[in-house]
Amino acid sequence: MTDPGTPGLAARLRRTLADRLVRTGALRAPAWRAAVESVERETFLGSAVARATEHGDRWEVIRLAEMTADEWLELVYRDETWVTQIDGEMVTDACGVVYGAPTSSSTLPGLVVRMLEAARISEGDKVLEIGTGTGYSTALMCHRLGSAAVTSVEYDPAVAGHACDALARAGYTPTLVTGDGLAGYDKNAEYDRLIATCSVRYIPLPWLWQVRDGGTITAPLSGWMYGAAFAHLTLGGDGTASGRFLEDDVYFMTARPHGPPPMAVPYLGIGDRRSSRVDPRVMDCPAGLFVGQLAVPSAMKLGGGGEVVLLDVATGSQATTRPDPYGGWTVRQHGPLRLWDAVEEAVLAWQAAGSPHQSAYGLTVTEERQYVWLGEPDGPSWNLPA
Ligand SMILES: C[S@@+](CC[C@H](N)C(=O)[O-])C[C@H]1O[C@@H](n2cnc3c(N)ncnc32)[C@H](O)[C@@H]1O
């Protein structure tokens, strides 16, 4: 016999979740609170989810069938990210422990709501969402704006299929598109707000073309070192977009075509040797990592602490730092790009500004160039790999 669970428990858990999100500061607008209290997250999670284990690449699958209905609801309404797809395989088709990298998830509600608040979405807005995922964030927007105002694009056909079923079951009818969201969706343009729930290395130009003048693009920016910043750009009347990064620390999985290529560069550990002008451990903190990544956007980073290895996928250039026995660090650089010279320059500019959070930086996007600036648009700047 199916376990019916405790009547009213889901609604109670939704209220508790909303209270918690208000307390943590994620949730401010009463209209988003009403959405959180109304949208049933269980509809979007399906019958199995996965959670991280202490081994980064192993995921424990948790199935509804293995617990009571009440236990499942308690899990659903935790403010946690639940992974729903790993290496392209839906978690509903798996059991036990699964190896791989998450490729889709239901982001923790606190972060979803913080993004919606940060994007300043409100009644009357027409929104394009990139990364439908389970459809939970899409449903929150449909609740507040009405389904006709919401368009959402999902890259993965299996994920898109599940979201489409779930949204229909929940009674929402947004425009759902299966395809590469980096191309946007011009049939419903122009949009007032574009919001991405996957991170990008640079802002795809179609997004600029499909958002109206004065509209906004809210997207997590990341790169191949996984340094992150949260962009909130306003479209100027001249075809450009610009804005300072937000103070929220958000991290989202990388948009599929923007992920790093396979690490095909052999690590040689050779090259010209000199003393480093900066402590390589600065890249252990989120802001320092973001700054280092700005300087060498096609490099990947291995190691940490004083022992950093940078490998540039485009040129095979590399840099290796080592602590010296009596203090300081030595760097060896090899190849056409002096990776550590570039990192040092960016880190020294950051340190001269007081080692601020990423929100001290901003991003300007034009048809020709995308650049991150420190302080003001005419301050020190670094080009994104657009
Ligand atoms: C963190 S999940 C989205 C969470 C979702 N909004 C929710 O509330 O459940 C990110 C999603 O972005 C999708 N994605 C990745 N790259 C994409 C792209 N280029 N275009 C559209 N969707 C993409 C992934 O397949 C994944 O489902």
Which pLDDT tens digit goes with each residue over 190-199? 999 999 999 9
Quick check: CB of 49 below 6 Å from ligand 1? Answer: no
The yes or no reply on domain 1-197 and CATH 3.40.50.150 is yes
pLDDT tens, residue by residue, 294-332:
999 999 999 888 899 999 988 889 999 999 999 999 999
Ligand 1 test: best mutation among 45, 156, 167, 195, most atoms within 8 Å of CB? 156
Q: What is the mean pLDDT of residues 146-157?
A: 98
Residue 254 Cα to ligand 1 middle (Å):
9
Q: What is the mean pLDDT of residues 180-184?
A: 98
Lowest mean pLDDT among 14-18, 179-183, 264-268: 264-268
Contact 47, 62 (CB under 8 A): no
Contact 188, 126 (CB under 8 A): yes
**Residue 272 burial class via C-beta count within 10 angstroms: exposed 0-12, middle 13-18, buried 19 and up:** exposed
Q: Which of 104, 105, 222, 298 is catalytic?
A: 104
**Separation of alpha carbons 375 and 377, rounded Å:** 7
Q: Of 359, 335, 186, 213, give the one whose Cα is nearest residue 269.
A: 335
Find all residues with CB under 8 Å of 273, minimum gap 6, and list them.
Answer: 330, 331, 332
> What residues form DSSP beta bridges with 51?
60
**For residue 1, what pLDDT is reported?**
54
Contact 175, 149 (CB under 8 A): no
Total number of residues shown for the chain: 386
User: What pLDDT band is residue 262 in, cutting at 50, 70 and 90?
Assistant: confident
Ligand 1 test: best mutation among 32, 253, 254, most atoms within 8 Å of CB? 253
Distances from the Cα of 134 to the Cα of 145, 155, 209, 359, angstroms: 19, 12, 27, 30
Residue 129 Cα to ligand 1 middle (Å):
9
Name the DSSP letter for residue 117: H
Nearest atom in ligand 1 to 137's CA = 8
pLDDT tens, residue by residue, 235-249:
998 999 999 999 988
Quick check: CB of 136 below 6 Å from ligand 1? Answer: yes
Q: Is 104 a catalytic residue?
A: yes
**For residue 11, what pLDDT is reported?**
97
- Whether omega for the bond prior to residue 190 falls within 30 degrees of 0, making it cis, is yes
Nearest atom in ligand 1 to 112's CA = 8
**Separation of alpha carbons 192 and 228, rounded Å:** 24
Quick check: CB of 10 below 6 Å from ligand 1? Answer: no
- Contacts by residues 176-180 (CB-CB < 8 Å, ≥ 24 positions apart): 176/132, 176/138, 176/151, 176/152, 177/151, 177/152, 177/153, 178/153, 178/154, 179/153, 179/155, 180/153, 180/155, 180/256, 180/257
Return mean pLDDT, the chain: 95
Task: State the first-to-last Cα distance of the chain, in angstroms, to the nearest integer.
Answer: 56
Percent of residues, the chain, with pLDDT higher than 70: 99
pLDDT tens, residue by residue, 83-117:
999 999 999 888 889 999 999 999 999 999 999 99
**φ, ψ at 165 (rounded to 5°):** -65, -45
Q: pTM of the entire structure?
A: 0.96
